[in-house]
């Protein structure tokens, strides 16, 4: 399934009134792939001066960009069913809204944040950022990483000790992971069980997400489910993300439980999505099996070359 077709399907499917949410983050503690060092916090987490600076960089530099570039399709006020309504014109709410979406921030590295990757890869309706805009968004993301990683280490240029940068580590680990994912393990774990997980009054997950609608793909058949989450970073990040919470040297791919928890528990900004138990369901059990099998393959060194195409 080509990315263009998936994105066209996402846009066309916004008219499905019953399908009002995707597995893309949300929540008061920051439902992202980076473990929040301040889980009791709000607005996406982060601590100290770096967190305050990150929020200021977003408000001063990034919010005006997305308000200009993205608000036409991603306004927090609608249209109804647009689950990626991450742009709030009210600056007092803009930061908390944006970082509440996994499909926007990913793991906060420039290589793993869809706010950059989906546009700079030419994937999104021909929309482009200017060099200065990319620089501003990158600067904000790097400051978020500094605030969120253990000890405040790591920025766009490295961890301060000459090691790998969060950006490079994220890109490398996601690429390696995509090559470790296999169709045999996917079907043995039966990740297709996710397609039949019931989301309250909204029906089974496959009802709204079978072809990648609403920024998330889940189906009870292997194709294009497996191909999409193994070749398209935007969709893979809904299931797996890079955990940088213990610093770059200890970074690893982990199951993105926060993306499911935010939506299943109907945490802001996903109150409109039908609720479901994000932990105790056949899909999550299958995802754990798939992760375990994939990690075993990685540990054994029997992975294929990276599959990610973006």
pLDDT higher than 50, residue 223: yes
Average pLDDT over residues 273-291: 92
pLDDT higher than 80, residue 1: no
Q: What residues does each domain of the chain span?
A: 1-310
pLDDT higher than 70, residue 309: yes
| pLDDT band for position 116 (cuts 50, 70, 90) | confident
| pLDDT band for position 30 (cuts 50, 70, 90) | very low
For 169, phi and psi rounded to 5 degrees? -65, -45
For 252, phi and psi rounded to 5 degrees? -155, 160
> Across-strand partners of 158?
155
pLDDT higher than 90, residue 300: yes
Highest mean pLDDT among 64-68, 118-122, 229-233, 293-297: 293-297
What pLDDT score was predicted for residue 113? 85
Q: Residue 269 and residue 236: Cα distance in Å, rounded?
A: 21
Average pLDDT over residues 202-230: 88
Q: Is the pTM of this model over 0.85?
A: no
Higher pLDDT, 59 or 211: 59
- Nearest residue to 255 via CA among 213, 282, 225, 294: 294
Give 73: exposed, middle or buried? Use CB within 10 Å, 0-12, 13-18, 19+: middle
For 21, phi and psi rounded to 5 degrees? -175, 155
What pLDDT score was predicted for residue 162? 52
- What is each CA distance from 294 to 149, 237, 263, 288, 289, in whole angstroms? 25, 15, 25, 10, 8
Q: Residue 291 and residue 285: Cα distance in Å, rounded?
A: 10
| pLDDT band for position 190 (cuts 50, 70, 90) | very high
| pLDDT band for position 241 (cuts 50, 70, 90) | confident
End-to-end alpha carbon distance in the chain: 14
What pLDDT score was predicted for residue 23? 41
| pLDDT band for position 123 (cuts 50, 70, 90) | low
pLDDT higher than 60, residue 204: yes
- 3-state DSSP assignment of residue 241: strand
| pLDDT band for position 60 (cuts 50, 70, 90) | very high
| pLDDT band for position 268 (cuts 50, 70, 90) | low
What pLDDT score was predicted for residue 238? 85
Q: Residue 257 and residue 278: Cα distance in Å, rounded?
A: 8
- Nearest residue to 284 via CA among 307, 263, 308: 263
What pLDDT score was predicted for residue 39? 26
Higher pLDDT, 16 or 168: 168
- 3-state DSSP assignment of residue 25: strand
């Amino acid at each position: 399934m080509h990315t263009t077709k998936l994105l066209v399907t996402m846009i066309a499917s916004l008219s499905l009134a019953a399908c009002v949410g995707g597995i893309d983050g949300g929540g008061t503690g920051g439902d992202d792939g980076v473990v929040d060092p301040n889980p009791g916090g709000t607005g996406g987490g982060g601590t100290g001066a770096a967190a305050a600076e990150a929020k200021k960089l977003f408000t001063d530099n990034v919010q005006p960009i997305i308000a200009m570039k993205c608000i036409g399709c991603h306004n927090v006020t609608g249209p109804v069913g647009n689950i990626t309504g991450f742009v709030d014109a009210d600056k007092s709410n803009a930061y908390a809204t944006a970082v509440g979406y996994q499909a926007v921030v990913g793991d906060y590295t420039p290589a793993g944040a869809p706010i950059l990757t989906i546009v700079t890869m030419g994937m999104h309706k021909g929309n482009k950022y200017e060099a200065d805009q990319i620089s501003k968004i990158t600067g904000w993301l790097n400051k978020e990483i500094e605030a969120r990683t253990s000890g405040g280490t790591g920025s766009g240029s490295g961890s301060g000790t000459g090691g790998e940068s969060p950006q490079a580590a994220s890109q490398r680990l996601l690429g390696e992971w995509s090559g470790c994912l296999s169709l045999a393990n996917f079907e043995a774990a039966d990740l297709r069980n996710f397609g039949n997980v019931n989301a309250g009054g909204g029906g089974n997950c496959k009802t709204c997400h079978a072809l990648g609608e609403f920024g998330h793909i889940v189906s009870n058949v292997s194709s294009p489910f497996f191909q999409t989450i193994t070749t398209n970073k935007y969709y893979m990040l809904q299931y797996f993300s890079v955990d940088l919470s213990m610093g770059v040297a200890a970074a690893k791919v982990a199951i993105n439980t926060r993306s499911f928890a935010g939506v299943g528990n109907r945490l802001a900004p996903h109150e409109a999505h039908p609720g479901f138990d994000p932990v105790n369901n056949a899909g999550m059990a299958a995802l754990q099996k798939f992760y375990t099998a994939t990690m075993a393959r990685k540990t054994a060194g029997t992975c294929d070359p990276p599959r990610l195409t973006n």
